Structures are given as C-alpha cells and as structure tokens.
Structure 1
Amino acid sequence: MSEKDVLEILGKKVALGESANVSFNVAKLHTQNRIDVPVIIERSKKPGPTVLITAGIHGDEVNGVEIVRQIISKGINKPKKGTIICVPVINVFGFIHMDREFPDGRDLNRVFPGIQGGSLASRVAFKLVTEILPHANLVMDFHTGGADRFNAAQIRIMKGEKNLDELAKIFGAPFVLYSKNINKSFRKTCYNLGIPALLFEGGKSFHINSTITNTGVNGAKRVLHHLGMLRSKFKVSKPKKNCVYVLNSKWIRARYSGMFKSTVSINSVVKKGDVLGHITDPYGSFNHAVKAPNNGYIFNINESPIIYQGDAIFHISTRLKYDEV
C-alpha cells in the first residue's frame, strides 16, 4: 500500500475503503471534563478528491449543524470515490451553551489561522488549519444568519474565482453573493492556502428551518455528484429556480426604535418605494413605513419584534451580475 493510499489525520491512519471517527481536544472545561471535537472520516476504495464539510464555527448556528448531521445520517458522506471529512460542530464549547462565541469571548471566525499557544478559540483554529484543512481539495462550510436575521439560502464567494463560480452554480442555492474574504476568517485562510471554499448561509440562529436544510443538503449532493463522489443510490434534482448573482448589496437600517413587522417575505423581488415593513410603538400613536430604496431582491430579514434605531432590518441587492430586476 503506497503512502498516498493512507490518510493520517490527528494521529489516526485511515486507508482507502476505511472509515474512522476521531476527535481533537485542545482544552478541558473548568470542571476538568474533556470537550472533544468529533471528526467523521469516510474513504472510498477508489482514490479521488478530499472534501471537507464543516459547520458550527459559531455555536448558535444550529441550522448549519443540522445540514451536516443529515449528510452523515443519510450516508451522503460515504463517497463513491475519494474522501469526505465531516466536522459537524467545530465550536463545541459554544454549541453546548448555544452561544456564538467561545468561552473566552472570542469569535472563532475572526482568529484564523490561529496560534498553537494562543487563546482557546485560537488553539481550535490552529488545530483545524494544521491537522485537518491541509488534506482538503474543497471545503463546504455551512453557516446560519445571526441576531434574529433570517438569511435566504445563499453561497458566498469572491469575485473572479472561476472554479468557485462553477461550483456555486452547481450547488444551486437561490442566491450567490459575491463578498470579500473577511480578515482572519476560515474562508480567508482557505483562500490563502489555495483551497477552494463554498460558504453557505441560510436561516437564523437557534432555529432549524426545513427549507434551508433541504437546500443545503441538496446543494452538497449536487457538488459531490459533479465531482463523481456521490453514490448512485442518491437522486440529484435540479434547482427549482436559477441562481441570482448579487454583485453588490446594502443593509436597510431602522430610522426609529420600536416594534417591527416585515410585510415582505424572504427572496422577494421589490421595486423602489415598495413598503417592506412597519415600525410602530406599543401605544398606537406611531407608524413608520419602511420602503425599498431601490429595485432588488430581499435576501435577509430581521425577524426580531423589537428593534432599535440603526439596527439592520433588510439586506437588499443593489447590483446583479445579470439584469434580472
């Protein structure tokens, strides 16, 4: 057996055709209990690419975790060729407490590539980047909207990456949002290492939405099918609608504090001047209509019933790759 036939990850050797569940541990709780980050590895007997599927970088983003859970439970992660590595909950610390950050108060997605002797979050990032990420030829990272803001299902990539353009189209989410890589994010680290990464966003924190999870699971299946990794037992359906490619967008922010109710649904096409929602007060003496500043698609809605002046309440496209509005 050649050296290429054996994958060594976190001290575990996994040959072609083998499966393994391994974990990495960087620290204990204050009670001295170990907290392990499970890593599920499935290898085909036939060589091929290695796909890393991750979720739970933020502990409260359970919708992303549910997508990866379904990929594992349905056996989608058992490849026809190559290797699939799943890390369903990277921030186990936050997941336990339903908290976005680590116990040290740091956002894991702002400390990559991490430091071996750094903060708790930084150590987890370092372990992921040095022990797991180098094996990947492609990353699919699943996220969820935060702070009561519901994201339409979308893939986020940088402009000018033809390979990711093709994969985003194959994934088939309703929206492809071109956005810059945030400094010290997981996606930026993948980019720096030359590893293509599809970042999926959908739903909102603390919630599992079946439409979003179905979109995520079906998108992953399409990408794996494209790579020749999806077993023939799984059906692959085409997206119901063509992707909308968003080149530029902006947040519509609340001009007033008060009670908030949206009157448009996610994925809506709106025209300039359309009423999107209302801000009112508890006493029935104030009613402010929030209007669209331009034609565009609404792909994020704040679902909090109480908002404050300056809060982001809608995310609207301002320029599309193709003139669709």
Structure 2
Amino acid sequence: MFFLGESILPGESKTIEVEIAKMHTMSKLKIPVIIERSKINGPTVLFCAGLHGDEINGTEIVRQLIRGKINKPKKGTVICIPIINVFGFVNQTREFPDKRDLNRMFPGNKSGSLASRFAHFLVTEIIPKIDYAVDFHAGGASRFNAAQIRIVPDVVDLKNLAQVFNAPFTLYAKNIQGSFRNACTKSGVKILLFEGGKSLDLNESITREGVEGAKRILNHLEMLNPKKEVSKGSENAVFIKKSIWVRANYSGLFHGSITIGSFVKRGDILAMISDPFGKIEHKLKAPNDGYVINVNDASIVYQGDAVYHISIQLENE
C-alpha cells in the first residue's frame, strides 16, 4: 500500500505527519494521520473528525479508537485522522484562518484559498485510498445533537451500514454541496456522518455511542480484533425521513424544558422565553408530534434562532 508518499507494508503501523501549511510565524502546521494495516488484505476504513475545529467530541471518539487499539484491524487497513482542521482546533473555531468553512470547500482547488487547497488535498490524496468512512461531527452554536447518523436517502448499502452502526437516531439528509460527505459519495466511498454533542464540549454518552458504533462497523466488515467486545447498541433505533427546525418566536432568556431524544406531542411546551425584567414570558410549543434530536443549550436567544430539531416523518409512516 502506497499512501501519502510512503509505503505501508502488511502488518505495519505508521503515523504520517502531513504538513498542510505554515503559520504566519513560519511554524509548520502538521496533521498526524495514523495508519494501521493488517497482514491480511481487506477494506480500508477512515475514521476522521475535526473538519470543524471546534467540534472536539469527534476528536475524542477517534482518540479513543486509537487509545483502545480498536483501529488495529484483523484484516484490511484503518486510517484515523483525529483532527482535520488543525487551524480551527488550535483557535477553537469552526473555520479555517481564511474564514472559510472547510466542509463547504470540496472538491477544492490546488490554486485556491487555504481551505480550498486543503480540501483538494483530501480529495486527491485521502479519499481515493478508502472504501468506507465515518466522519464525526457535533452541533454548533450551543445546539446539542442527540447521537445520530446521517445518510442520503434511497441508498440500500448506506442504510444497512447505518443499521449496523445502530445510533439512537438515523436521519435521511441529502448531501450538502461542497461537503466532505458529498465528495466521498461522488468517489464511491460509503460514508456515514455521525452527529453528537455540541461544539467545544466533551460528553461521555456521545463518545460512547461513537466508539461503540465504530466497533460495530469494523465487526460487520470482519475487521475488528476478536478480543474486542461489541455491544448491540440502540434497541429502538429511529429512522427519520423528514424533520423541521423550531425557531425562537421571541428574543430573550431561554428556559428549555425538553430532554434530548424525547418524544413530544403537538402543543407540548418546549421552552419559555422571557425578558430579563420579570414582565413577559412566551411559551414555545411543539408544532407537531416527533422526536427531539437537537436541543438548544444557549441561555439567550434571538427571534428566529434555531432552537429545536424535531422529526416530522419517520420511516414506514
């Protein structure tokens, strides 16, 4: 196997530090790419996180895969990239230094902006080498995502993989133009996008869902070390065909009253929005029956802010 300019022999472990750019201080900025290759041929799986630099829970999931030696496959090759957007990770921000969202820059351009150039690198050097990928993300802007997998609709192989991962929720969602997921799909890579938790936050429950789901994927591909235990995952996993964002109807202090993952009925009170002076309280009600897969954790909201993500149609309904 020839990868990133280096030969990876059967049974070999190697960490390749990819220099993506230099800081304005002339310090080199490198991304460690951890490769574990079995002596037995098989698929190549990528576990990656940190496309958005402030979504650190995904980084923790991939770190635990490495720390627990889950990434050492019985057959095939496992590639782990715990932090893709090192710039954002260092600065605790979503974007690249050029203020661009890396996950909207694919397939990129080798002569374009800094983010575009790095997207081009991923498309030309990483994606062609992999067969499967799990890309770990978290909610942004103080919004906490329930552990969920996102896949494009009407693709049987992806649905089967999502069932194997077995997160509490799977959401059918079209690929976003310019995203890493879209670039992988166009290249024939079977990719699951994991969402869980919120930015700049570590959550043990979300981390556990991500790690266990990754183990189930490797086990399904007959790549998991037989010494590693595999849990069954969610007993009542929910597949969501359509969903809606509920937005704040007023600006003010936000008093949420719904637990993530809850099923609500139309008219249930989701939150109260109040002024800071004790005069006004506004009720925010559920517009329909559904599961709450994203909850706002902000203390202050503005009118129009997305505060809840609720299912409106489940599979087989």
1:226 aligns with 2:220: yes
Structure-2 separation of matches of 1:300 and 1:41? 34
1:45 aligns with 2:51: no
1:253 aligns with 2:247: yes
Structure-1 separation of matches of 2:18 and 2:105? 18
Structure-1 separation of matches of 2:191 and 2:18? 22
Q: For 1:127-276, what aligned pairs fall within 5 Å after superposition?
A: 127-276=121-270
How far 1:289 moved relative to its partner? Answer: 1.0
Number of aligned residue pairs: give it.
317
Code of the residue aligned with 1:69 in structure 2: it is R
How far 1:129 moved relative to its partner? Answer: 1.2
Conserved 8 A contact 1:172-1:242? no
**What's 2:19 paired with?**
25
Aligned counterpart for 1:12 among listed residues 6, 15, 38: 6
Conserved 8 A contact 1:10-1:23? no
Structure-2 separation of matches of 1:266 and 1:295? 15
How far 1:130 moved relative to its partner? Answer: 0.8
**What's 2:273 paired with?**
279
Code of the residue aligned with 1:170 in structure 2: it is V
**What's 2:88 paired with?**
94
1:69 aligns with 2:63: yes
Structure-2 separation of matches of 1:181 and 1:303? 26
Code of the residue aligned with 1:95 in structure 2: it is F
Aligned counterpart for 1:106 among listed residues 100, 106, 113: 100
Aligned-residue identity in percent: 56
TM-score, normalisation: structure 2 = 0.99
Structure-2 separation of matches of 1:73 and 1:129? 27
Conserved 8 A contact 1:63-1:205? yes
Conserved 8 A contact 1:27-1:34? yes
How far 1:23 moved relative to its partner? Answer: 2.1
**What's 1:307 paired with?**
301
Code of the residue aligned with 1:213 in structure 2: it is T
Q: Name the SS for the 1:163 alignment partner.
A: helix
Q: Name the SS for the 2:28 alignment partner.
A: coil
Structure-2 separation of matches of 1:291 and 1:276? 5
Structure-2 separation of matches of 1:40 and 1:309? 44
How far 1:296 moved relative to its partner? Answer: 0.3
How far 1:241 moved relative to its partner? Answer: 2.5
How far 1:240 moved relative to its partner? Answer: 3.6
1:292 aligns with 2:293: no
Structure-1 separation of matches of 2:132 and 2:46? 6
Code of the residue aligned with 2:289 in structure 1: it is N
Code of the residue aligned with 2:311 in structure 1: it is S
**What's 1:80 paired with?**
74
Code of the residue aligned with 1:112 in structure 2: it is F
Higher mean C-alpha deviation, range 110-119 or range 201-210: 110-119
1:117 aligns with 2:111: yes
How far 1:26 moved relative to its partner? Answer: 2.6
How far 1:25 moved relative to its partner? Answer: 1.5
Structure-2 separation of matches of 1:37 and 1:239? 32
- 1:273-317 CA-to-partner distances (Å, cap 9, x unmatched) read 111111011111111111111000000011100000000010000
Q: Name the SS for the 2:20 alignment partner.
A: coil
- 1:82-133 CA-to-partner distances (Å, cap 9, x unmatched) read 0000111000011001010000000000001111111111111111111111
How far 1:261 moved relative to its partner? Answer: 1.4
For structure 2, which runs of at least 5 residues remain unmatched after alignment?
none
TM-score, normalisation: structure 1 = 0.96
Code of the residue aligned with 1:153 in structure 2: it is A
How far 1:322 moved relative to its partner? Answer: 3.2
